[in-house]
Amino acid sequence: GAGVSQTPSNKVTEKGKYVELRCDPISGHTALYWYRQSLGQGPEFLIYFQGTGAADDSGLPNDRFFAVRPEGSVSTLKIQRTERGDSAVYLCASSLNSGANVLTFGAGSRLTVL
Partner 1 sequence: AQRVTQPEKLLSVFKGAPVELKCNYSYSGSPELFWYVQYSRQRLQLLLRHISRESIKGFTADLNKGETSFHLKKPFAQEEDSAMYYCALSGPTGANSKLTFGKGITLSVRP
Query: Which SS3 state, helix, strand or coil, does residue 85 take?
Result: helix
Q: Parallel, antiparallel, or unpaired: how do β-strands 5-7 and 19-24 relate?
A: antiparallel
Q: Which residue, 73 or 98, is less far from partner 1 as judged by CB?
A: 98
CB of 98 to partner 1, least distance (A): 5
Those residues whose C-beta lies under 8 Å from the C-beta of residue 77, and which sit 6 or more positions away, are: 20, 21, 22, 23, 34, 46, 65, 66, 67, 90, 92
Of residues 23, 94, 106, 109, which one binds partner 1 by CB under 8 A?
A: 106
Q: Which of residues 9-68 bind partner 1 (CB under 8 A)?
A: 33, 35, 40-45, 48, 50, 55-56, 58-59
Using the rule CB under 8 A, which residue among 26, 91, 111, 113 binds partner 1?
Answer: 91
Determine, following the binding rule CB under 8 A, whether residue 101 of this chain makes contact with partner 1.
yes
